[in-house]
Amino acid sequence: MEERLQKILSRAGFGSRRACEDLILAGRVRVNGQVASIGSKADPAKDMIQVDGQKIPAQPPPVYIALHKPQGVLSDVETHHDPRKTVRDLVPVPGHLFSVGRLDYESEGLILLTNDGELANLLTHPRYGHEKEYRVQVSSRPDERQLEAWRHGVVLEDGYRTSPAQVRLETIDGKGAWLRVILREGRKRQIREMGKQTGLYVTRIIRVRIGTLLLGDLKPGEWRFLRPDEIRLLKAGKKASKKG
């Protein structure tokens, strides 16, 4: 079946559709020996598609994996000259996978690993504002003023004001507390920086949801393939975001 070329390339691991369009515009893509153009279609089962003179790999079956990233593991699927363990080391599944929903080294929780480049881009691009939900442990009991600051947006050290967050007190934990936080953006170490600027020292972060996908009862280091209904829900959310 013929599909748009950028969709085929994205699924083959060449990045987002936009990145694949750039490859086509640069004249780096050929179909059956002819330089491709934007709007070109191909059938990966019949046509020879090349990038920089190399035939693209056979289209692998789609892979969707939920992983509970432990603390002390990098979210990257690849590192250069960094000996620390990555999420890819925890999942012995062959082929290139994108890491969706990066977490800092000290944080833990849900990450999606997939070879679906289009879905990966749409779940991570800030334009689409997919919700990500966290349980956040803080070392002191928050007052309403601090929580309201999170809800209205916090000015970080670099002058950036965060988008409003949904936040509520979940439980009291000794001298501290657990918060439930929902974000629609994902700046580096954002929750920790929000806590720092409002006097709430963050001691633990666990992501429990990305869009419609839930962490569930996965323990740190555990992973599983997504069920068909979970994949359908993620893709339905993707389509709604594109329309919006």
Q: Residue 18: give its domain's CATH number.
A: 3.10.290.10
Q: What is the pLDDT of residues 157-189, one digit of tens each?
A: 889 999 999 999 999 999 999 999 999 987 889
Question: So what's the pLDDT on residue 28?
Answer: 96
**Same domain? 201 vs 233:** no
pLDDT band at 242 (very low <50, low <70, confident <90, very high): very low
| Residues 78/39, Cβ–Cβ less than 8 Å | no
**Same domain? 40 vs 95:** no
**Same domain? 146 vs 174:** yes
Q: Which residue has the tokens 């916090």?
A: 154
CA distance linking residue 89 with residue 80, whole number of Å: 14
In the three-class reduction of DSSP (H, G, I as helix; E, B as strand; rest coil), residue 39 is classed as: coil
Q: What is the DSSP string of 78-93?
A: --SS--S-BHHHH---
Question: So what's the pLDDT on residue 17?
Answer: 82
**Same domain? 155 vs 204:** yes
Q: Range of 160's domain?
A: 131-210
**Same domain? 199 vs 137:** yes
**Same domain? 69 vs 109:** yes
**Same domain? 120 vs 83:** yes
Which active-site residues does the annotation give?
A: 104
Number of separate domains in the chain: 3
Question: So what's the pLDDT on residue 219?
Answer: 98
Question: So what's the pLDDT on residue 126?
Answer: 66
**What does the buried/exposed string (b/e) look like for 39-50 if buried means 16 or more CB atoms within 10 Å of the residue's CB?**
ebebebeeeebe
**Same domain? 80 vs 115:** yes
